[in-house]
Amino acid sequence: MQLRRQPLFILALVVSFLGLTTNGIAQTTNLAFGTLQQDTSLPVEVTADSLSVNQTDGTAIFTGNVVIIQGEMRLAAPRVLVVYAQATDAQEARIARLEATGGVTLISGPDAAEAERADYNIDDGEVVMRGNVLLTQGASALTSDLMTVDLTGGTAQMDGRVKTILRGAD
């Protein structure tokens, strides 16, 4: 092996070791997401251009510049369906899940993710992002078909066609 080809050989070994090859096999990557563990019991603040409430099925649709804030987490989308949990006489109605569509941005600390859709199950503290997922963490970027964020653990798992760009030292 020639000396000038050695760095390329080492890079190829690192990429294949990390499972970042370009073969057709589905891939999974686990990583940290956000700087804090999210307290999913915190209040959920929603702002939007308009709101439509359906008392029959216990849903509300927020449209136009929707921004959802819960603690340090921010979620933005053109449309969000809010599904309320069944309330008893002793309980107030509470949000069970949020379904954001139309191009979603999720921000937690310095990390940001974009996708076509995001479903947030508040009881589980889990956000599932689908469709052209792009995660940026500092100078690094990863893409995949699906990303599941565990807000209580501060972790994420990317599944499907996972791709990243490895940057060398400048």
Residue 36 located in a structural domain: yes
* Residue pointed to by tokens 């686990």: 30
Buried b (16+ CB within 10 A) or exposed e, 30-43: eeebbeebbebeee
Confidence of residue 168 (pLDDT cuts 50, 70, 90): low
Which residue is listed with tokens 């050695």? 6
What is the C-alpha to C-alpha distance for residues 32 and 63, in angstroms, rounded to an integer?
A: 31
pTM of the model: 0.75
pLDDT beyond 90 at 103? yes
Lowest mean pLDDT among 34-38, 87-91, 115-119, 128-132: 34-38
**Is pLDDT larger for residue 104 or for residue 7?**
104
pLDDT at site 101: 97
Domain assignment present for residue 129? The answer is yes
Per-residue confidence at 27, pLDDT binned at 50, 70, 90?
low
The better pLDDT of the pair 4, 68 is held by 68
In a domain? residue 7: no
Per DSSP, which regions of 5-94 are E strands?
27-32, 45-47, 50-54, 59-70, 73-84
More confident residue, 4 or 53: 53
The span from the CA of 59 to the CA of 88, in Å, is 16
Does residue 10 sit within a domain?
no
In a domain, 148, yes or no: yes
By the 10 Å C-beta count (0-12 exposed, 13-18 middle, 19+ buried), 168 is classed as: exposed
Tally of domains in the chain: 1
Whether 157 is covered by a domain: the verdict is yes
More confident site: 113 or 41: 113
116-163 pLDDT per residue, tens? 999 999 888 899 999 999 998 888 889 999 999 888 888 889 998 888
Q: What is the CATH number of the domain that holds 78?
A: 2.60.450.10
Does 18 reside within a domain?
Answer: no
Question: Mean pLDDT across the chain, nearest whole number?
Answer: 79
Residues with Cβ within 8 Å of residue 122, at least 6 apart in sequence: 40, 44, 94, 95, 96, 97, 98
Q: Tell me the pLDDT tens digit for each residue of 46-69.
A: 999 999 999 888 899 999 999 999
In a domain, 69, yes or no: yes
- Domain with 39, as residue range(s), is 23-164
